[in-house]
Every structure is written in structure tokens, then in C-alpha cells.
Structure 1
Amino acid sequence: MALHKLLVDDFYDDTYKLIAIHCGLEDYRLAYLLNQSLELNLERKPDDLDFEYLKSSYSIFEWNNTSQYITWNLVSNVCKKEEASLSSSGTLFQTNDNVLKTFNLVPEFKKVDYFIKISDEIQNVNEKLILNKLQAIPQIITSYSVNPKQLKSKDHLIF
């Protein structure tokens, strides 16, 4: 009897562009500025991205441009969560100290605040034009293109 193997190593092969953004703005404010400068219509999704059993959650905005077959996503890369710390001080009174923990959606880029994911089927998005428009926004410190195939945690960007 013959033995058949099915190799599914590279099953999910989506073509998308990824842009990293460094800025100190809140997510809704950045989405508003992107809507104005890039002529988008980003809207917050009702559910955030949750990872590791609700350990961290990331805000996500989305717009489907059906006329050009492009899906735009703005996703936060940073989640800050306050947790109670376990400390044994050996004293009579117990102190409740809270620790602020930081989690990243893409751990390879810890300094990046937000990512823009552009999923285009026709490959008609001019990435240099988008980067120039992003650099024109005074609240954005810097933005640059990221090669998603070199990321170890590219599975986190499937939504």
C-alpha cells in the first residue's frame, strides 16, 4: 500500500504590504489622521485581537475598499496591562503593588507603535506614495516598510 504525504508548510500565502508607524498618538486619533491624509474610511472593529487566552489585546481598525479590491488594517503593536505583583516582603502588612506589563503583537519590532497592513489582490498600491503621505503628517515620528516574509511572528498578522 502506498503512503501519501500532504505538505502544508506554506499554506497561507497572502500578498500584503506592511508599514510600521512610530507615534505617540492614541489609536482613534491616528485612524482619524490616516482617514484624512490617505482618503481612507478606517473604522474600529467591534472585537479587538486577543492573544494567549486574553493575556493581551490589540485594537484594530479596518476598511474594505471594494472598488479597488484592497483591505486596509491599522493594528496596534503595543498592549499595556496592569497586573498585581507577587511579592513576599516578610512584614506584618501586605502591600498590593501593581506592575505595568507591556506585550507586543510583533515582538521583533518592540519600538513600533502601529502597523498598517494593506492586502491587495491586484498589487496596485503605490507604497512610496503612502510613505510620503505618512511622513507629511506632523504627529507621526517615522514610518517605513517592513518585509512580512522575514518576520518570525507573521502568523499574528492573520486576521
Structure 2
Amino acid sequence: MALHKLQVDDFYDDAYKLIAIHSRLEDYRLAYLLNKHLDLKLERKDTDIDFKYLESSYSIFEWNNKTEYVLWNLISNVCKREADSLSSTGTLFDRPEKILKTFNLITEYKKVDFFLKISDEIENVNEKLVLSKIQAIPQIITSYAVDPLQIKSKDHLIF
């Protein structure tokens, strides 16, 4: 009897462009600047992206341009949370210390602050033009295109 094996990765073939953005701006401020310079209408979604049982959450802004069949997503790559530090009992100071833990959505790109995901069905978005407009924004340090196929944790970008 013949044995057939199906690979699950074969079914997911979503074509999208991914742009990494380095900026120290708050997420809402970056969304405002992208809206202004790229003529977008990004809005914050009601729920954030949560991973590992609410251990980390990442803000997401979205705009579905139905006239051009393009879905724009601005996703934060960094989540900082306060946590109690481990300390031994009987210390001089009884107050527990707080430490700041940093989590990344895409662990291969720990230095990237945000990702701009452009899902276009008919591929009418000029990635080079978008990159040049983003790099013209003075508050953005740098931006560059990322190949989504080279990312090991690309499943985190499915939402």
C-alpha cells in the first residue's frame, strides 16, 4: 500500500512584503507618521498579539485598502514587561526588586523595533518607493526590506 505524506507548509503561500523599521518612537506616533507620509489609514486594533499565555503582547495597527486589495499592518517587535526579580530571603532590604524583561516577536531581528507587513494580492505596491518614503521620515533611524522566507519564526506574522 502506498503511503502519502502531506507537508503543512505547502498550504500556506501568502505573498507579502516585510519592512523592518528601527525607531525609538512610540507605536501610535510611528503609525501617525506612516499615515502622513505614505497616505495610509492605519488604526490600532482592539486586541494586541499575545504569545506564550499573555507573557508578551505586541501592538498592531491595520488598514485594509479594499480599493487596491492591500492589507497594511504595523506590528511592534518589542515587548517590555516588569517582573519580580528573584531574591533570597533574609536580605537587608525586604522590598522585592522589579526587573524589565524584553521579548521579541521575531527573535532573529532583536534590534528591529517595528515591522510593516504589506499583503498585496495583485502586487501593485512598489516596495522601493515605500522604503524611500519611510527613510525620508526624520524620526526613523533606518528601514530595510526583509525576506519573509528566511525568517524561522514567520508563523508569528500570521494573524
TM-score range (shorter-chain normalised) is over 0.9
1:2-151 to structure 2, matched below 5 A, reads 3-88=3-88, 90-91=90-91, 94-151=94-151
- Root-mean-square deviation over aligned CA pairs: 1.3
TM normalised by structure 2 equals 0.95
TM normalised by structure 1 equals 0.95
Q: Distance in 2 between the 1:68 and 1:141 partners?
A: 29
Aligned residues: 159
Residue by residue over 1:25-55, the C-alpha shift from the partner in whole angstroms, topping out at 9 and shown as x without a partner, is 0000000000000000000000000000000
Q: Distance in 2 between the 1:93 and 1:76 partners?
A: 36
- Stretches of structure 1 that go unaligned for 5 or more consecutive residues are none
Q: Distance in 2 between the 1:81 and 1:58 partners?
A: 11
- Stretches of structure 2 that go unaligned for 5 or more consecutive residues are none
Aligned residue for 2:149, secondary structure, equals: helix
Aligned residue for 1:140, secondary structure, equals: coil
Residue by residue over 1:131-156, the C-alpha shift from the partner in whole angstroms, topping out at 9 and shown as x without a partner, is 11011100000000000000000000
Q: Distance in 2 between the 1:148 and 1:10 partners?
A: 15
Q: Distance in 2 between the 1:92 and 1:126 partners?
A: 61
- Structure 1 residues 135 and 89 mapped into 2: Cα distance closer, same or farther (>3 Å)? same
Residue by residue over 1:89-148, the C-alpha shift from the partner in whole angstroms, topping out at 9 and shown as x without a partner, is 543653301110000000100000000000000011100000110111000000000000
- Structure 1 residues 146 and 89 mapped into 2: Cα distance closer, same or farther (>3 Å)? same
Q: Distance in 2 between the 1:15 and 1:102 partners?
A: 30
